[in-house]
């Protein structure tokens, strides 16, 4: 099935599905502001995510935007491009929307302003899918703002919770600074090349030679910094622990999985496609190597001593940003397609296992368990399914053979060797070993510690359980199905590196 | 035809199904699971006979992969799979194993059910699992699969020997059997890994097999070296490692000590596991990869010497044991020594022949011993028996047939096979492989000792006057126990016709049915298992050729009749000696005449003490040293790293001060640092 019967703009179907759902939620809330629409909103959000996911999977299987199906679809004067990479990440993003939409239904039971919550989530997701398809710096910048602004509000959405408001404000301040850095970087690139579109900039760098390498170099590094904010890579990570901890847990899941993935897709695209020819100006591969190693190490070491489970997961997700950065850091001119494929596949698996882990925390908060690791003591007795699921998520995150995480990390290791960057491989192994320790702390609490006397779980919220079960299913299935993911990732990676 | 529809899969699957049925529903079934076991093993036997007949009538051997669990990447790397290799050797073994399994199941009805044992569903499930493992081991088409089921056999043996786990003896014996064979399996495991690492494949047969690869490696023209070892040395080393597993499993010296203890298990188990099948697994493995061993004269010599020594040494032990099952246990060790001797001596057909006949007559003897034990209400000491001949006629004649076969009396089965293997060894020794003279001499001497202990056992148990009340008034033996003995007794008498090697000069080579079968002469196609010159790769003839070319084994062309006469003369000397010593109604023990040697013999030749010494001084000291290294250095490094990581973690955690102004400052500083470093290194300001 190709797009011969559909107009070209239909390639943006997932984006339209998400934005339309967001507007629909707002419309329902405007027409009948006083009645309780929690179930309806959750259904709409999940439905919107599913529609986007369905369209994307259909396109992927129908070779839309793939080399076999006529190649990338370029829209709006080259400002947007729908290709294998955009579709691949849209699958991750919309899947996370589905999981978060499902989980939020129970989590938000006593929450006053649910229309705002769901519409903001959907709008932020719209920005993410748009970012995945961005093909110019203008669109990239606007998409990032479209992701960020709703995110700030989402983090601060528990208006009477001090942590939530504080986290939101810090997120906003660091975000504003990062946006400024990004915008400045883009302007420097514009000064050097005279263009804002990805392809014109790339051509200009190769064609004209660079008159003032310093200006372009500054621009490139500042853009890397701006993107690092979205990826939550050191030293642009400071917002992450505070925002994740303060935010409602489904929002933390959304930000740490989807928002991060969106940050990576634009980074992959810009650096492999646009700045590929600028390696003589600034060796951004080395910059990425520094960022990757530092991010891995800081994230994992800081997670070691955390007492609170959400902060632990926050640092773990920072550490994973470092792992995924290997996809940039190992682009030393070896098998670049393979390196990028490994990074993409890792983010795919990560989307499910990390969301799942945060949703377990959402479940814990729903039960009122408390925020510390020891509040999860003896969870096996009252909620064996949750304990099993959390164990799988955490050990998959650690890279043990409990789910797809083992294979994706193996491929990252392989990629660092393929790129000939031994320090990345060593850092990956050491940090993974460290991560087993702190993940095991949570697992030990759940399985071997005696439960607190007042631990009494009676409710088993359907939506949250369904979302966790789905995340678990995919985390486990991605182990045998990893080859399938790799195939699509490789097609996507091949276009941008080729 | 899909590999899963192959009859060999059915042969293997039947006992597994029986095991599962017995496990889940056994406690509600009549006879507690004996029926599913009987039906399943009978099914296996039927299919196995069919498969063997098909091969005998010309159908090509089966060599198919059933399930691949590690497939390599893009055709690179090793492949781990389960597959079938049904050739004449494995088909013969399938028939033997399933035949004995059926008979032992039937015998168990009398031995276990009618004696009112409890937990019989566990017993039959164990038998089923064991039969399954053994059959799967037999059809394995690669070394890894063989190893997997080899280990499963060890587990089943543990479970079955320890069946009466509430008594003190059986659990201890089960542990010993498990641990001692584990020592051999350790070498086998290293060997399996070495095979995969060296040759990239574990397949027994076919163009991609490690045997074919080894032929290339041994060939000095290819210039293969590994750590300064030549190809020949690598093959020798791997051959010795795998041999370690075979020595453990087939209870060869010095890893034989577990087998006599394993007699603590139920006697039908001894008949099936510790006489006819599992103990055969070790030598079967050697026969399975004989093409590999034929490349290595050094390892062949080791095999022959170990075999010959074990045959002689275990026979002397059998001579001084007082308990019926102990005599049989040492006799088993001794007989597998003969099989090893045959393999080392270049007599592939003879080895397989003796493996087959021994399975028949030794399981017969064990069943006979079981019947005697039941009849005398669990008396095992031969000195407490005597005179059972008139009271247990069927058992006596069955036991007699087995004994004559074991002693190698013409024309019973054991005569033909033992003679064949001694002749092959002698022929190759005379052909120039001088080390075989030593092995042959030990084997020949063992003939006399074998006859001596066999006749002693027979006389003490069945002849003379009853020495106790229980022997004077034994219980009757039911038909379920008698029927298997009758079947096996007939086979023990006539199985020699498979290969009347001693008379090949008179009858002609074409009467050697087994040799013909194992040489693939009955086959009309080879199922892809062909050699370069179009022969059958797994045939006895091919092995003989490899032995000749690679190991320098030449046949001197001696007359088999002459060798047979020598052996027969020794056998008669043995009979005469035994009758002289133990004749009459009330024989003497003669132990006192042995003097100090007697006390050595009575103490198991101090083999158990030696192993305990080995474990407690050598192994324990090494373990303690390793423990110190592990605790002090390895743990120290690991704990040190952990402490460093934790303290660093604490510091990194404190970077997160909670003050957003600090964050922005560090963010900007970090970016500035990045810009400065890259600006300076890239020379933007120069």
Q: What is the DSSP string of B98-153?
A: HHHHHHHHHHHIIIIITTT-S-HHHHHHHHHHHHHHHHHHHHB-BHHHHHHHHHHH
Cβ of B642 and A283 within 8 Å?
A: no
Q: What is the pLDDT of residues B102-119, one digit of tens each?
A: 988 888 887 877 777 778
Q: Say whether pLDDT at A2 is over 60.
A: no
When scoring B73, B645, B679 by the number of chain A Cβ atoms within 10 A, the one with the most, hence best to mutate, is B645
Contact list in B for residue A308 (CB cut-off 8 A) is none
On whether residue A428 sits in a domain, the answer given is: yes
Report d(CA B226, CA B221) in Å as an integer.
15
Average pLDDT over residues B341-345: 89
To 10 degrees, what angle do helices A137-155 and A260-269 make? 170
Do the domain assignments include residue A148?
no
Which residue out of A236, A304, A312 would a mutagenesis test of the B interface target, given it has the greatest number of B Cβ atoms within 10 Å? Answer: A304
Is the pLDDT at A173 greater than 50, yes or no?
A: yes
Residue B169 clears pLDDT 80, i.e. is over it:
yes
Contact A282 B682 (CB under 8 A): yes
Reported as a single tens digit per residue, the pLDDT across B232-259 is 888 888 999 999 999 988 888 888 888 8
Q: Does the residue A254 lie in any domain?
A: no
The whole-angstrom separation of Cα A495 and Cα A498 is 5
Give Cα separations from B66 to A65, B93, B132 (angstroms). Answer: 40, 20, 16
Which pLDDT score is estimated for A363? 92
Q: Which residues of B touch A319 (CB under 8 A)?
A: none
* Residue in A closest to B666 by C-alpha: A235
Are B667 and A287 inside 8 Å of each other by CB?
Answer: no
Q: How many domains does chain A have?
A: 1
By the 8 A CB rule, do A292 and A328 touch?
A: yes
Has residue A191 got a pLDDT over 60? yes
Q: What is the pLDDT of residues A29-69, one digit of tens each?
A: 888 887 777 888 999 999 999 999 999 999 888 877 777 77
Mean pLDDT, chain A, rounded, equals 90
- Are B62 and B85 contacting, i.e. CB atoms less than 8 angstroms apart? yes
Distance CA A44, CA B390 (A): 93
Q: What pLDDT, in 10s, does the model give residues B26-72?
A: 777 777 778 888 888 899 999 999 988 888 888 888 888 888 777 76
| Residue B648 contacts A where some CB pair is shorter than 8 Å | yes
Q: Determine the pLDDT at residue A224.
A: 94
Note the pLDDT of residue B2. 62
Digit-coded pLDDT (tens) for A109-120 = 878 788 899 999
Least confident of A180-184, A248-252, B290-294: B290-294
A289 in any annotated domain: yes
**In the predicted model, is pLDDT for residue B444 greater than 90?**
no
Residue A305 lies inside a defined structural domain of this protein: yes
Domain with A316 in it: 285-498
**Pairing status of strand B225-226 against strand B229-230:** antiparallel
CB contact under 8 A, B678 and A301: no
Cβ of residue B667 closer than 8 Å to a chain A Cβ: yes
**What does the pLDDT read at residue B250?**
87
| Torsions phi, psi for B31 (to 5 deg) | 60, 15
Q: Which residues contact A87 (CB under 8 A, 6 or more apart)?
A: A56, A59, A60, A64, A65, A492
Model pLDDT, residue B524: 78
Could you tell me the pLDDT band of residue B485, with boundaries at 50, 70 and 90?
Answer: confident
CA distance B3 to B589: 58
Q: Classify residue A401: in a domain, yes or no.
A: yes
pLDDT at position B631 is 85
CB contact under 8 A, A213 and B645: no
Q: Is A102 exposed, middle or buried (0-12, 13-18, 19+ CB in 10 A)?
A: buried
Looking at CA atoms only, how far is residue A45 from chain B in angstroms? 33
Answer whether residue B439 shows pLDDT above 70: yes
Q: Say which range, A161-175, A288-302, B418-432, has the weakest mean pLDDT.
A: B418-432
- The reply to whether residue A242 touches residue B656, judged by beta carbons under 8 angstroms, is yes
Residue A314 lies in a domain: yes
Q: Quick check: B678 and A217 CB within 8 A?
A: yes
Q: Which residue has the higher pLDDT, A340 or B606?
A: A340
The answer to whether residue A435 sits within a structural domain is yes
Is residue A165 very low, low, confident or very high in pLDDT (cuts 50, 70, 90)?
A: very high
Give the pLDDT confidence score for residue B686 in this predicted structure: 64
* CA neighbor of B260 nearest in space, from B608, B657, B611: B608
CB contact under 8 A, B684 and A217: yes
Predicted local confidence at residue B1, as pLDDT: 44
- Burial code (b: 16+ CB inside 10 Å, e: under 16) for B487-521 equals bbbebbbebbebbbbbbbeeeeeebbebbbbbbbe
Report how many Cβ contacts below 8 Å link chain A to chain B: 85
Give the per-residue pLDDT at B596. Answer: 64
CB contact under 8 A, A234 and B670: yes
The number of helix segments (H) and strand segments (E) in chain A equals 20, 2
Give the number of other Cβ atoms within 10 Å of residue A290's Cβ: 18
Highest mean pLDDT, choosing among A163-172, A365-374, B275-284, B425-434: A163-172
Contacts of A174 in chain B (CB under 8 A): 660, 663-664, 667
Question: How confident is residue A1, by pLDDT bands cut at 50, 70 and 90?
Answer: very low
Best B72, B644, B678, B681 member to test A by mutation, with max A CBs in 10 Å, is B678
Mean of pLDDT values over B531-547: 79
| Cβ within 8 Å of residue B387, ≥6 positions away | B462, B463, B464, B465, B466, B467, B471, B472
């Amino acid at each position: 099935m190709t797009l011969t019967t559909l107009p070209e703009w239909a390639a943006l179907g997932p984006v339209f599905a998400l934005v339309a759902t967001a507007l629909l939620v707002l419309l329902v809330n405007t027409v009948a502001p006083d009645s309780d629409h929690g179930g309806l909103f959750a259904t709409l959000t999940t439905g919107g995510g599913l529609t986007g996911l369905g369209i994307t999977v259909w396109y992927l299987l129908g070779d839309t935007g793939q080399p076999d199906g006529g190649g990338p679809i370029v829209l709006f004067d080259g400002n947007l491009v729908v290709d294998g990479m955009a579709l691949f990440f849209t699958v991750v993003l919309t899947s996370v929307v589905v999981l978060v939409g499902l989980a939020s239904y129970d989590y938000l039971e006593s929450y006053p302003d649910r229309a705002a919550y769901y519409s903001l989530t959907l709008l932020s997701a719209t920005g993410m899918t748009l970012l995945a398809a961005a093909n110019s710096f203008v669109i990239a910048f606007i998409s990032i703002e479209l992701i960020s602004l709703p995110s700030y509000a989402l983090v601060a959405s528990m208006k009477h919770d001090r942590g939530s408001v504080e986290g939101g404000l810090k997120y906003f301040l660091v975000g504003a600074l990062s946006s400024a850095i990004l915008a400045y970087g883009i302007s420097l690139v514009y000064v050097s090349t005279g263009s804002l579109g990805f392809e014109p900039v790339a051509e200009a760098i190769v064609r004209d030679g660079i008159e003032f390498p310093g200006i372009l170099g500054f621009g490139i590094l500042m853009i890397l910094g701006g993107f690092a904010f979205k990826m939550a890579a050191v030293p642009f990570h400071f917002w992450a622990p505070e925002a994740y901890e303060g935010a409602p847990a489904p929002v933390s899941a959304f930000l740490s999985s989807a928002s991060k993935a969106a940050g990576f897709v634009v980074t992959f695209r810009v650096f492999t496609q646009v700045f590929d020819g600028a390696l003589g100006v600034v060796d951004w591969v080395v910059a990425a190597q520094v960022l990757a190693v530092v991010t891995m190490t800081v994230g994992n070491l800081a997670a070691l001593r955390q007492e609170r489970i959400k902060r632990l997961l926050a640092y773990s997700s920072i550490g994973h940003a470092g792992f995924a950065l290997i996809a940039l850091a190992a682009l030393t001119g070896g098998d670049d397609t393979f390196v990028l494929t490994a990074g993409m596949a890792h983010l795919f698996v990560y989307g499910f296992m990390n969301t799942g882990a945060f949703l377990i925390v959402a479940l814990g908060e729903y039960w009122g368990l408390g925020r510390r690791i020891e509040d999860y003591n003896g969870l096996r007795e009252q909620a064996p399914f949750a304990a099993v699921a959390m164990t799988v998520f955490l050990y998959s995150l650690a890279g043990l053979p409990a789910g797809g995480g083992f294979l994706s990390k193996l491929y990252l290791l392989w990629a660092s060797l393929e790129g000939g960057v031994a320090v990345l491989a060593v850092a990956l192994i050491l940090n993974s070993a460290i991560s087993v320790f702190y993940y095991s702390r949570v697992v030990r609490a759940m399985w071997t510690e005696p439960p607190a006397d007042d631990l009494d779980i009676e409710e088993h919220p359907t939506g949250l359980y369904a979302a966790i079960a789905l995340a678990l299913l995919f985390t486990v299935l991605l182990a045998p199905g990893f080859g399938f993911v790799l195939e699509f990732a490789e097609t996507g990676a091949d276009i941008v590196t080729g | 035809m899909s590999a899963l529809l192959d009859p060999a899969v059915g042969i293997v699957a039947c006992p597994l199904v029986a095991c599962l049925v017995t496990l889940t529903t056994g406690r509600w079934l009549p006879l507690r699971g004996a029926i599913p076991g009987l039906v399943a093993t009978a099914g296996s036997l039927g299919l196995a006979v069919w498969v063997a007949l098909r091969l005998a009538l010309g159908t090509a051997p089966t060599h198919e992969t059933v399930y691949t669990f590690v497939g390599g990447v893009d055709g690179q790397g090793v492949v781990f799979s389960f597959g079938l290799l049904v050739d004449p050797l494995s088909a013969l073994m399938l028939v033997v194993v399933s035949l004995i399994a059926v008979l032992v199941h039937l015998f168990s009805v009398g031995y276990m059910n009618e004696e009112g044992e409890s937990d019989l569903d566990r017993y039959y499930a164990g038998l089923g699992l064991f039969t399954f493992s053994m059959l799967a081991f037999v059809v394995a088409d690669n070394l890894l699969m063989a190893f997997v089921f080899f280990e499963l056999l060890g587990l089943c043996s543990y479970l079955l020997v320890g069946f009466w786990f509430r008594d003190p003896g059986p659990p201890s014996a089960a542990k010993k059997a498990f641990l001692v064979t584990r020592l051999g399996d350790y070498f086998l495991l290293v060997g399996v890994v070495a095979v995969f690492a060296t040759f990239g494949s574990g397949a027994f047969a076919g163009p991609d097999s490690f045997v074919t690869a080894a032929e290339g490696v041994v060939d000095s023209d290819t210039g293969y070296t590994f750590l300064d070892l030549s190809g020949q040395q690598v093959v020798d080393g791997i051959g010795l490692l795998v041999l370690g597993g075979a020595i453990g499993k087939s209870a060869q010296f010095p890893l034989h000590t577990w087998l006599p203890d394993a007699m603590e298990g139920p006697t039908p188990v001894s008949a099936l596991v510790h006489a006819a099948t599992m103990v055969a697994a070790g030598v079967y493995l050697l026969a399975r990869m004989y093409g590999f061993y034929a490349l290595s004269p050094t390892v062949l010599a080791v095999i022959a010497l170990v075999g010959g020594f074990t045959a002689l040494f275990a026979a002397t032990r059998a001579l001084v044991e007082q308990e019926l099952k102990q005599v049989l246990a040492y006799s088993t060790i001794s007989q597998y020594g003969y099989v090893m001797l045959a393999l080392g001596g270049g007599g592939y057909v003879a080895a397989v022949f003796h493996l087959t006949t021994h399975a028949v007559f030794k399981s017969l003897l064990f069943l006979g011993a079981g019947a005697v034990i039941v009849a005398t209400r669990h008396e095992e000491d031969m000195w407490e028996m005597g005179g059972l001949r008139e009271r247990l006629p069927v058992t006596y004649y069955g036991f007699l047939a087995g004994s004559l076969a074991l002693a190698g009396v013409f024309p019973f089965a054991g005569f033909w096979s033992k003679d064949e293997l001694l002749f092959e060894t002698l022929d190759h020794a005379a052909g120039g492989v001088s080390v075989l003279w030593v092995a042959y001499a030990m084997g020949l001497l063992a003939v006399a000792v074998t006859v001596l202990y066999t006749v002693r056992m027979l006389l003490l148990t069945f002849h003379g006057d009853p020495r106790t009340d229980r022997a004077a008034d034994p219980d009757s033996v039911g038909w379920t126990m008698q029927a298997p003995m009758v079947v096996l007794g007939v086979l023990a008498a006539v199985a020699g016709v498979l290969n009347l090697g001693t008379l090949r000069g008179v009858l002609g080579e074409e009467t050697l049915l087994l040799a013909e079968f194992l040489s693939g002469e009955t086959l009309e196609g080879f199922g892809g298992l062909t050699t370069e010159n179009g022969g059958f790769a797994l045939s006895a003839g091919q092995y003989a050729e490899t032995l000749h070319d690679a190991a320098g084994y030449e046949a001197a062309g001696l007359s088999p009749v002459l060798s047979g006469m020598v052996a027969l003369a020794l056998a008669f000397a043995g009979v005469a000696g035994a009758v002289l010593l133990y004749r009459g109604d009330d024989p003497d023990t003669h132990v006192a005449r042995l003097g100090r040697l007697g006390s050595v013999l009575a103490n198991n030749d101090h083999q158990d003490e030696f192993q305990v010494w080995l474990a407690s001084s050598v192994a324990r000291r090494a373990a303690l040293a390793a423990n110190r290294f592990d605790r002090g250095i390895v743990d120290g490094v690991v704990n040190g790293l952990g402490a460093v990581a934790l303290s660093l973690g604490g510091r990194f955690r404190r970077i997160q001060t909670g003050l957003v102004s600090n964050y922005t400052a560090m963010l900007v500083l970090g970016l500035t640092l990045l810009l400065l470093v890259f600006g300076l290194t890239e020379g933007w300001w120069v």
